[in-house]
Amino acid sequence: MVASDGLPTDIAAPTSLGYSIRFKLGNVILAKRESGLKIRRKSVHIYKAQFAINTQGGPFAAHRGWVAVDVTFKGKRFRFVTTHLESEVPPTRLKEAQELVSKTGPLRVKGQKILVGDFNSDPKGRVDAADSYKAIARAGLQDAWLKAGKGQGLSASAPTNELLRSPIPLRYKERIDLSFAKPHLRVLKAKRIGLKPTDRTPSGLWPSDHAGLAVTYRLGR
């Protein structure tokens, strides 16, 4: 693990069945050790826009944010940012996206930026509204799938697989797992991963309830 926001959402509550349930939510950046790769700085931020609901255990607040690292790879520098925008409340999600690309956000630095994550906003508005995606695109960030992806690139909304045990090939309905770059980078490859039955664990679990997105960029000079 290179950087984490420390799971800012961590809620536990008892149930009427005699056991407790716990919900954790956060962001993590992992980096494979490579010759010439250096992590120079780590940054963490929790969005101002949040939402809360009342439960029997008291108010439940979902705290979401972003994590960033400044990287040098073989003499080339860039900032890498990951986030997971709100899934249930579209107005809150839009405010998070606007904060992400604002003057005080992690993308307003000089040099190359790469932004990845689950944005819960489909560019065509198939299930989730496109407004958050558009807010990011208007800030000048390039969607890698549009440059090198084949097909629709759908990666989410497979409710039958929430427990990762679906016995059938997964079917996705929207493209919300995305990778952006600014200034524009040459995208060598963009593909979905974790879709084959052979990708499951020996016990039959899928890697995720989403398809994975793997993007290969050629860094600038």
45 close to 65: Cβ distance less than 8 angstroms: yes
Rg of the chain (C-alpha set): 18
Mean pLDDT of the chain: 91
Task: Tell me which amino acid residue 12 is.
Answer: A
Altogether, the residues listed in the chain come to a count of 221
pLDDT, tens digit, for every residue of 18-28? 888 887 889 99
Query: And the tokens for 192?
Result: 């979905």
Compute the distance between CA of residue 81 and CA of residue 83 in angstroms, rounded to an integer.
7
Q: Cβ(93)–Cβ(59) under 8 Å?
A: no
Number of domains in the chain: 1
| pLDDT at residue 158, rounded to an integer | 62
Segment 132-145 mean pLDDT: 98
pLDDT of residue 38: 95
CATH number, residue 204: 3.60.10.10
Instruction: Give the Cβ contact number of residue 21 at 10 Å.
Output: 11
Rounded Cα gap, residues 203 and 56, in angstroms: 35
Closest CA to 99 of 52, 147, 46: 46
Residue with tokens 């890697």: 207
**Per DSSP, which regions of the chain are E strands?**
3-4, 9-14, 20-25, 28-29, 37-46, 51-55, 58-62, 65-73, 76-84, 112-118, 142-143, 177-182, 186-193, 212-218
Cβ neighbours of residue 38 closer than 8 Å, sequence gap 6 or more:
71, 72, 73
Q: Tell me the C-alpha distance between 33 and 87, whole Å.
A: 32
- pLDDT above 80 for 35: yes
Plot region of 101 (φ>0 → left; ψ -120 to 50 → alpha; else → beta) = alpha
Write out pLDDT tens, residues 57-106: 677 778 899 999 999 999 999 999 999 999 989 999 999 999 999 999 99
Range of the structural domain that residue 88 is part of? 3-218
- The owner of tokens 């925008």 is 85
The alpha carbon of residue 213 and the mean position of all alpha carbons in its chain are separated, in whole angstroms, by 10
Output the pTM of the full model: 0.92
Average pLDDT, integer, range 101-129: 96
Angstrom distance (rounded) from CA 217 to CA 190: 9
Amino acid at 171: R
